[in-house]
């Protein structure tokens, strides 16, 4: 199974300055992400960045990097330019791995690539896992996804979906494990696979009203009639890094996992 990984990385971050270059066990975070990506069996892994310091740090560690424009409005636009810079064929499968996920499971990256490769009717692939608590279900920062019988995304939302009208409660709390088979709420994991041709086309698609409402870019794909295949994992992925507190937690976890 051939697929390529692209990692978009920007140096600017309001909550954690120089985030891609933050040290994780003696290497920049973006390098640790790339190492995980290469462990997935990807044919190649390239960091797409607008910052020369990030590109230099990657190349010093043996990680490929390309410099993109600095005016891209989203990571998808940056990846579309990177696909052209790398000359990838339209039918190539490209996995977008975020540069702040140094604990991502390589098997999950491979699974997202595989679900797209087995679904020629879909333009994209992504991942989800079962929601375990009512707090997650009602948290608008936890994006939910609902699937059809083929495992394709019907919709994504920050709202608690699907909602079981007659959901049982235990001591006043929702029992998510009792929900009907196939209707268990799923948390969307922000890991995407694209066919390179669609990735080239995606930035030109007009934003969708639902996308603007929910602030979820993947709704643009569904709005324009494309399909997204979803692989469901049993457990949640490792934590990402958004804040200094996240960084300390991930450093500790990385040290535990790597001695």
pLDDT at 172 over 70: no
Give yes or no for a contact between 96 and 6, defined as CB atoms under 8 angstroms apart: yes
Q: Is residue 243 part of a domain?
A: no
Q: Is residue 138 part of a domain?
A: yes
Buried b (16+ CB within 10 A) or exposed e, 85-115: ebebeeebbbbbbbbbbbbbbbebbbbbbbb
CATH of the domain at 7: 3.90.550.10
Q: Give residue 6's domain range.
A: 1-102
What are the backbone angles phi and psi of residue 99, rounded to the nearest 5°? -75, 0
Give yes or no for a contact between 251 and 25, defined as CB atoms under 8 angstroms apart: yes
**Helix (H/G/I), strand (E/B), else coil: 47:** strand
- Regarding whether 117 and 96 lie in a shared domain, the answer is no
Q: Name the band, by pLDDT with cuts 50, 70 and 90, for residue 165.
A: confident
Domain boundary among 51, 79, 102: 102
Q: Is residue 247 part of a domain?
A: no
Q: Is residue 180 part of a domain?
A: yes
- Regarding whether 109 and 94 lie in a shared domain, the answer is no
Residue 142's nearest CA partner among 134, 150, 152 is 134
In the chain, the number of structural domains is: 2
- Regarding whether 115 and 71 lie in a shared domain, the answer is no
pTM beyond 0.85: yes
pLDDT at 248 over 80: yes
Q: With 0-12 CB in 10 A as exposed, 13-18 as middle and 19+ as buried, what is 145?
A: buried
- Regarding whether 36 and 95 lie in a shared domain, the answer is yes
- Regarding whether 227 and 131 lie in a shared domain, the answer is yes
Work out the average pLDDT over 1-27.
88
């Amino acid at each position: 199974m051939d697929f390529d990984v692209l990692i978009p990385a920007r140096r600017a971050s309001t909550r954690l300055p120089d985030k891609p270059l933050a040290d994780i066990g003696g290497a920049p975070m973006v390098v640790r992400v790339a190492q995980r990506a290469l462990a997935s069996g990807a044919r190649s892994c390239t960091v797409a960045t607008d910052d020369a310091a990030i590109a230099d740090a990657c190349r010093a560690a043996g990680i490929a990097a390309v410099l993109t424009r600095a005016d891209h409005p989203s990571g998808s636009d940056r990846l579309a330019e990177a696909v052209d810079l790398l000359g990838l064929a339209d039918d190539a499968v490209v996995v977008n791995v975020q540069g702040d996920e140094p604990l991502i499971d390589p098997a999950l990256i491979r699974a997202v690539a595989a679900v797209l490769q087995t679904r020629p009717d879909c333009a994209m692939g992504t991942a989800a896992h079962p929601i375990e608590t009512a707090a997650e279900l009602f948290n608008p920062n936890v994006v939910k996804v609902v699937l059809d019988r083929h495992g394709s995304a019907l919709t994504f939302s920050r709202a608690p979906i699907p909602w079981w009208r007659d959901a049982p409660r235990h001591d006043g709390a929702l029992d998510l494990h009792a929900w009907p088979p196939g209707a268990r709420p799923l948390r969307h994991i922000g890991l995407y696979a694209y066919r390179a041709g669609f990735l080239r086309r995606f930035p030109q698609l007009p934003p969708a009203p639902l996308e603007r409402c929910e602030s979820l870019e993947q709704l643009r794909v569904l709005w324009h009639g494309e399909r997204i295949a979803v692989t469901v994992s049993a457990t949640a992925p490792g934590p990402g890094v958004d804040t200094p507190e996240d960084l300390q937690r991930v450093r500790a976890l990385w040290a535990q996992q790597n001695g």
